[in-house]
Amino acid sequence: MFQILDIKGSINFLRHAAPISILSAILVVGSLVSLATRGINWGLDFTGGTVVEMEFSKSVNLETLRSNLTEPLVAGAVVQNFGSSRDVLVRLQVREGVKSDDQVRVVMAKATELDPEVVQKRVEFVGPQVGKELAEQGGLAVLVALICILIYVSFRFEWRLAAGSVAALAHDVIVTLGVFSVLQLEFDLTVLAGLLTVVGYSLNDTIVVFDRIRENFLKMRKGTPEEVVNNSITQTMSRTIITTGTTLITVVALFLKGGTLIHGFATALLLGIVVGTYSSIYVASYLAIRLGINREHMMPVEVEKEGADQPSIMP
Amino acid sequence: MLNKYPMWKNIMVVLVIAIGGFYALPNLFGEDHAVQVVATRGADVTATTQSDVSAALTAKGIGIKRSELENGQLLVRVANAEDQLTAKETIAELLGDKYTVALNLAPATPEWLESVGGSPMKLGLDLRGGVHFLMEVDMSEAIRKMEEAKIADFRSQLREERIRYAGVHRTVRGIEIKFRDAETLSQAERFLKSRGNDMVFSDISSGDNVVLLAVMSEAYLKQIKEEALLQNITTIRNRVNELGVAEPVVQRQGAERIIVELPGVQDTARAKEILGATASIEFHMVDEKADVAAAANGRVPAGSELYQRREGGPVVLKKEVMLTGDHITGAQPSFDEYSRPQVAIQLDAKGGEIFSNVTKDNIGKPMATLFIEYKDSGERNPDGSVKMRKIEEVISVATIQARLGRNFVITGLTHSESQNLALLLRAGALIAPVSIVEERTIGPSLGAENIENGLQAMIWGMVVVLAFMLVYYRAFGVIANLALCANLIMVVGVMSMIPGAVLTLPGIAGMVLTVGMAVDGNVLIYERIREELRAGRSVQQAIHEGYGNALSTIADANITTFLTALILFAVGTGAVKGFAVTLMIGIATSMFTAIVGTRAIVNALWGGKRVKKLSI
């Protein structure tokens, strides 16, 4: 049998944990700064407005179309290519006293002047009120997800591990959002779905490591917490690489072949899976160690003494 | 003996996968071009209709693939798109306007499969094209209507009890009832409360102003909103049926919104006009005593209101509504003996009774038909909701000649107005105006493109993952790959089985992702087996331990992913919900195939035998 990682002993992952966690902290802070200053490029789903997607029979000059869209009804329209040079996307803002139907009509009329065979492929209109609600709901969803997970992991494992996993998840969400903010990628509903999937996936990874940590604490009676964690990460490394690999393969396939409508979704997943895999080691496990996880915490509940859930003074 | 499944477990695995596969089957057959016939009010689709249609089509030389009569609707399948169009025209001509004839694509599932409940996955609008509307009900209008009804109630109740009041008015605070003295007020308050008016009364008198304020109770307000939403849904459903769209969706979303999905519709303007129009009619008595000229200058008598006639000129009508459009059960456009357009109206029993009483008491007096319509004004309120404009016009004033019953006619409309009014009245009036707050139109070509893209991504991802597993785990890789394929088939099968599940583009993404993540279970198990082998365990022991130890990890990991999918499903809308559904199903089926499915094969191949080396 051939093995991607053929390891006899265990790799000392945690040796680099301190410097790497500084890198994580920088990433998180950087993301937060970008989110605060540049903000997120919210898509139609959240801002409201109208989007018209059309396909021309030949490639068209966007500049010409743009300069034709100067009527007050459609002023400020954003015109861009979408997938190919023949596919064009026009974004229009909600304007007081203007019907989206009329805006669409003007845009299509101008497009038809350029190319009589232009086909209207998609029209989406979202009221600003709906968008706002959606953004609130989306944020709430991520929060609820994190809380549910905190409860589940606390219940199944131990609060230090739960805190570690939630910190790792928050880390993943913030960094992924940060990249969307820095690159000003459009954040629409599918990206939100992608983000929640990242939460699920990253947790998946963390749980696998934690499961091993719990098992090893009970098996390796003499190991220090660091040794146990290092051992657990090493033992699950093969699996982590393979599963991350196969998932990445399918997400890359989605990114390349899935079409422009789910590009945002695939991007969020790509980022999230990479960040999530790394954070399950350097954020989740490391934090649990720093919180003072040890063998006693992993003992079956029956023998748990009073105060066992308090941080231990002994390392 | 280690690693032997009892027979029942093997049978169960085979059975579960076979059932999944069986229900996935209908997806292989594609779709037939079809024509769908639905009866609108006052007509029936019967076996006679079916044979008439068949005869007419055969006479035109159109071959019928299959013709089904189900749930009061007829579905005729034909060979191709060309036949479909001719067939539609032929049928529409044959049946007339009491039926809606629509083009449809019907799943070409063979009858034997259909008879056991087999049907293909339903495709979301993003995959087949169509319009999606999110509509918001104007609740303030619904409340206003109820308050006005309450005012009428108060007046008649107080009069009945001979309690003298000075006036009843609607204000921003609620309904204010004025009295001459405090004693009558408390008497009225006691009486009105005893009649269970669902209102909260409070004395807001100040000085000489003796006023009783009536405000709707919280529970009543909630009930009004709920009823307004439900009635609007029913009405919109009726209207959608009148539009002749195949397989439309009308659903509530939250407390004030309605989702409407019309697959295959491209003419959004017409759809909007019919769906959003809140035209209704009311019958009022003309206030004959009023001085029209004075009223036009602003001196309208109390209890009356000034309106404009459609053809021009003011008219004063009594505020009291004799009859509302709610009681109308049928309306057909036709022409009178002078070939002027008219609408023949039928009322329900209660409406007929009311109308009969009203007309009996008012023979020889003029009665007006008031046409009320709410239109999107194109403007928006500061909060982003659409401002509606209320248009009220008197379309006819006629002298009541005799006591009228449940059938009568309205005249004074143009031809197209009579057509539209009849359609809207048949479909019922919206209790409160609705506005479109979200609209998504997906062209059919984009839908097809989306399916194509999704399938491409799935095939590419799948091929690479299968190849990798095969190379890396050899014999066990083959088993994992079998599980993966079985898993995909089962996802499709379950999606087809669940009536509410809809496949969307993000749903396909969910399936692709499932392919990538489903191997996780197997990878965890196999890595565990390898570890045990390295640790020097015997082959049988290693398999046993590998599966056993990986189980709790797989369960924990999947339960948490399932939780996030569940949250996505709860808060998400449309496409995101579609993604969540496929993800949840994928997690459940992949756990089954990865743990139980592969174990069955492994046990069958190696269980209980002397094996020196495993191909893993």
Are A129 and B616 an interchain contact pair (Cβ–Cβ within 8 Å)? no
Cα A308 from chain centre: 35
Between A49-58, B19-28, B98-107, the lowest mean confidence (pLDDT) is in B98-107
Q: Is B394 helix (H, G, I), strand (E, B) or coil?
A: strand
Strands of B25-90, DSSP E: 31-39, 64-70, 73-78
Q: What is the pLDDT of residue B379?
A: 63
Partner A contacted by B524 (CB < 8 A): yes
Nearest CB to A262: which of B461, B509, B568?
B509
B35-64: per-residue pLDDT in tens? Answer: 888 776 556 788 888 898 899 898 888 888
Q: What is the pLDDT of residue A315?
A: 47
**Segment holding B347, helix H or strand E:** strand B341-347
Looking at per-residue confidence, does A234 or B281 come out higher? A234
Report percent pLDDT > 90 for chain B. 19
State which amino acid sits at residue B270.
R
CA distance B440 to chain A (A): 4
CA angle A165, A171, A177 (to 5 degrees): 140
What are the chain A neighbours of B616 within 8 Å (beta carbons)? 1
Are B516 and A144 an interchain contact pair (Cβ–Cβ within 8 Å)? no
Q: What is the pLDDT of residue A7?
A: 63
Q: Kindly tell me if the per-residue pLDDT of A97 is higher than 80.
A: no
Exposure pattern of A40-74 as b/e (b: 16+ CB <10 Å)? bebbbbbbbbbbbbbbbeeebeeeebeebbeeebb
Calculate mean pLDDT across residues B539-561. 89
What are the chain B neighbours of A55 within 8 Å (beta carbons)? 445
B251-263: per-residue pLDDT in tens? Answer: 898 889 999 998 8
- Write the DSSP symbol of residue A285: I
Nearest CB to B376: which of A99, A199, A211?
A99
List, in order, residues 6 or more apart from B434 with CB less than 8 Å away. B135, B136, B137, B138, B232, B236, B258, B275, B276, B278
CATH 3.40.50.720 correct for B30-108: no
Partner A contacted by B386 (CB < 8 A): yes
Q: Which of A148, A155, A262 to mutate to test the interface with B (most CBs of B within 10 A)?
A: A262
Nearest CB to A249: which of B385, B454, B465?
B465
Rounded Cα–Cα distance for residues B38 and B73 (Å)? 5
Q: Which of B525, B528, B571 to mutate to test the interface with A (most CBs of A within 10 A)?
A: B571
Between A278-282, B27-31, B418-422, the lowest mean confidence (pLDDT) is in B418-422
Calculate mean pLDDT across residues B266-294. 77
Q: What residues does each domain of chain B span?
A: 7-24+447-606, 30-108, 140-221, 279-414+425-429
Q: Kindly tell me if the per-residue pLDDT of B612 is higher than 90.
A: no
> What Cα–Cα distance (Å) separates residue B573 from each residue in A128, A134, A167, B232?
16, 9, 28, 21
Predicted confidence band at B525 (pLDDT cuts at 50, 70, 90)?
Answer: very high
Nearest CB to A193: which of B386, B460, B579?
B579
Say if pTM beats, i.e. exceeds, 0.90. no
Q: What is the pLDDT of residue B459?
A: 93
Q: What is the pLDDT of residue B45?
A: 82
Are B571 and A203 an interchain contact pair (Cβ–Cβ within 8 Å)? no
CA distance A172 to chain B (A): 15
Partner A contacted by B449 (CB < 8 A): yes
Q: What is the pLDDT of residue A303?
A: 45
What are the chain B neighbours of A300 within 8 Å (beta carbons)? none
What are the chain B neighbours of A3 within 8 Å (beta carbons)? 530
Are A203 and B564 an interchain contact pair (Cβ–Cβ within 8 Å)? yes
B7-24 and B598-606 helices cross at what angle (nearest 10)? 130
B169-182: per-residue pLDDT in tens? Answer: 888 888 999 988 88
- Write the DSSP symbol of residue A305: P
Closest residue in B to A209 (Cα) is B553
Closest residue in B to A247 (Cα) is B516
Q: What is the pLDDT of residue A310?
A: 55
Q: Kindly tell me if the per-residue pLDDT of B184 is higher than 80.
A: yes
Q: What number of C-beta contacts closer than 8 Å exist between A and B?
A: 236
Q: What is the pLDDT of residue B303?
A: 81
ipTM: 0.86
Rounded Cα–Cα distance for residues B124 and A230 (Å)? 47
Predicted confidence band at B469 (pLDDT cuts at 50, 70, 90)?
Answer: very high
Q: Taken in order B422, B428, B430, B431, is the CA torsion positive or negative?
A: positive
CA distance A309 to chain B (A): 22
Predicted confidence band at A2 (pLDDT cuts at 50, 70, 90)?
Answer: low
Strands of chain A, DSSP E: 41-42, 49-55, 78-82, 84-92, 119-126, 186-187
CA distance A183 to chain B (A): 23
Q: What is the pLDDT of residue B385?
A: 59
Q: Kindly tell me if the per-residue pLDDT of A309 is higher than 60.
A: no
Q: Is B540 within 8 Å of B2 (Cβ atoms)?
A: yes
CA distance A54 to chain B (A): 10
B188-198: per-residue pLDDT in tens? Answer: 888 888 877 78
Choose the most confident range, by mean pLDDT, from A4-13, B551-560, B594-603: B594-603
Q: Please tell me the class of the B279-414+425-429 domain.
A: alpha beta
Q: What is B7-24+447-606's CATH topology? A: Multidrug efflux transporter AcrB transmembrane fold (1.20.1640)
Predicted confidence band at B483 (pLDDT cuts at 50, 70, 90)?
Answer: very high
Q: Kindly tell me if the per-residue pLDDT of A304 is higher than 50.
A: no
Strands of B493-568, DSSP E: 502-503
State which amino acid sits at residue B160.
E
Predicted confidence band at B381 (pLDDT cuts at 50, 70, 90)?
Answer: low
Calculate mean pLDDT across residues A10-39. 91
Are A122 and B386 an interchain contact pair (Cβ–Cβ within 8 Å)? no
Nearest CB to A129: which of B385, B506, B558?
B385
Looking at per-residue confidence, does A244 or B240 come out higher? A244
**Segment holding A101, helix H or strand E:** helix A100-114
B296-319: per-residue pLDDT in tens? Answer: 888 888 888 889 887 778 899 988
Placement of tokens 């308090």 in the chain: A310
Q: What is the pLDDT of residue A301?
A: 54
List, in order, residues 6 or more apart from B230 with CB less than 8 Å away. B252
> Please, which residues 455-474 of chain B have a Cβ atom closer than 8 Å to chain A?
456-458, 460-462, 464-465, 468-469, 472, 474
Q: Kindly tell me if the per-residue pLDDT of A299 is higher than 80.
A: no
Q: Kindly tell me if the per-residue pLDDT of A170 is higher than 60.
A: yes
Are A250 and B376 an interchain contact pair (Cβ–Cβ within 8 Å)? no
Q: What is the pLDDT of residue B61?
A: 86
Closest residue in B to A206 (Cα) is B557
Residue B244: Cβ-neighbour burial (10 angstroms; 0-12, 13-18, 19+): buried
Placement of tokens 């000129």 in the chain: B313
Exposure pattern of B84-104 as b/e (b: 16+ CB <10 Å)? beebbebbbebbeeebbbbbb
B128-157: per-residue pLDDT in tens? Answer: 888 999 999 888 888 887 887 788 778 878
| Mean per-residue pLDDT of chain B | 84
Predicted confidence band at B486 (pLDDT cuts at 50, 70, 90)?
Answer: very high
Nearest CB to B134: which of A130, A144, A207?
A130
Calculate mean pLDDT across residues B90-109. 80
Are A48 and B384 an interchain contact pair (Cβ–Cβ within 8 Å)? yes
Closest residue in A to B514 (Cα) is A247
Cα B168 from chain centre: 39
Q: Is B480 within 8 Å of B516 (Cβ atoms)?
A: no
Are B549 and A215 an interchain contact pair (Cβ–Cβ within 8 Å)? yes
Are A99 and B552 an interchain contact pair (Cβ–Cβ within 8 Å)? no
CA distance B562 to chain A (A): 8
> Please, which residues 125-164 of chain B have a Cβ atom closer than 8 Å to chain A?
126, 134, 136
Q: What is the pLDDT of residue B24?
A: 93
Rounded Cα–Cα distance for residues A212 and B613 (Å)? 26
